[in-house]
Amino acid sequence: MRTRTLTLAAAAGAALLATAALPANASGTAVPRSTQEGSVSAADLLAKVTSCSQISNGKYRTDEETSATVPVCGKNGAVFWKADMDVDCDGQVTSKCNGDTDPWFQDDTAFHQSDGKPLRADSLPYVVVPSTSSIWKYTSYGIKGGGVVAVIYNGKVEYAVVGDTGPTEIIGEASYATAQALGIDPNPETGGADSGVTYILFKNSQVSPIQSHSAAVSLGDSLAKQFLQNN
């Protein structure tokens, strides 16, 4: 597996300026099961995203050292991209996500729990979206913090929320819990997946509270069914 380069940390710093640092706190929540979620299959979702109607002004790199090859694509009711998965451990300090386990660790996330605390990467499936740039502005397409994402890998569907923002030119990142649920090595330094991950973000969706994974699964399954009907 490839790892994120140290230069990625510098790029991520600009995105973090937009969010105020909060104290890191740990709270106990259940780790999601590594099983198929919802009633919509990975194959059915993937059949709807075989072609790309590009909505981004340019393309993204999957890592600092790679060339820009990944566009953001538009569909009825959703946007999507196909990329790799870097593992994000940012948010609350836990035994699995901290400055010792992750060289790029930050104790905050762009979006927060209902109690104001950062999200918890090792128990909450969340996806990182690129920070606003001339390439693409996610908020202009109905994507917001707490929005539902169907993450597809190796025949599995995992529902996650939009939980953090990342570098302006790099795409393909999700939380420790997302990787673990999909059977991807969740180690933030050495894990992740080099390719084969599809991210479908449902427009104008909102999980409340953002930290409720069961709410994300329920809403995600409903939106996935609508997505199949409308595309």
Tens-place pLDDT, residues 24-39: 333 334 444 445 799 9
CA 75 to chain centre: 18
The residue with greater pLDDT, 34 or 50, is 50
Cα–Cα distance measured from residue 44 to residue 151, given in angstroms and rounded to the nearest whole number:
13
pLDDT > 90: percent of the chain: 84
Classify residue 1 as exposed, middle or buried by CB count within 10 Å of its CB (0-12, 13-18, 19+). middle
Give the range among 6-15, 86-95, 153-162, 187-196 with minimum mean pLDDT: 6-15
What average pLDDT score do residues 173-180 get?
98
Among residues 89, 131, 112, the alpha carbon closest in space to that of 4 is found at: 89
- Amino acid letter, residue 171: I
What average pLDDT score do residues 48-76 get?
97
Cα–Cα distance measured from residue 91 to residue 166, given in angstroms and rounded to the nearest whole number:
13
Cα–Cα distance measured from residue 137 to residue 51, given in angstroms and rounded to the nearest whole number:
21
Question: Residue 2's pLDDT band (boundaries 50, 70, 90)?
Answer: very low
Q: Give pLDDT, residue 88.
A: 97
Q: Which residues contact 113 (CB under 8 A, 6 or more apart)?
A: 119, 120, 209, 210, 211
Q: DSSP 3-state assignment of 38?
A: coil
Neighbours of 209 (CB within 10 A): 11
Among residues 12, 19, 154, the alpha carbon closest in space to that of 85 is found at: 154
Structure tokens belonging to residue 110: 């762009």
What average pLDDT score do residues 125-143 get?
98
Asked whether the predicted pLDDT for residue 158 surpasses 80, the reply is: yes
Q: Give pLDDT, residue 36.
A: 74
Question: Residue 166's pLDDT band (boundaries 50, 70, 90)?
Answer: very high
Asked whether the predicted pLDDT for residue 6 surpasses 60, the reply is: no
Q: What is the pLDDT of residues 64-101, one digit of tens each?
A: 999 999 999 999 999 999 999 999 999 999 999 999 99
Give the range among 10-19, 60-69, 158-167, 182-191 with minimum mean pLDDT: 10-19
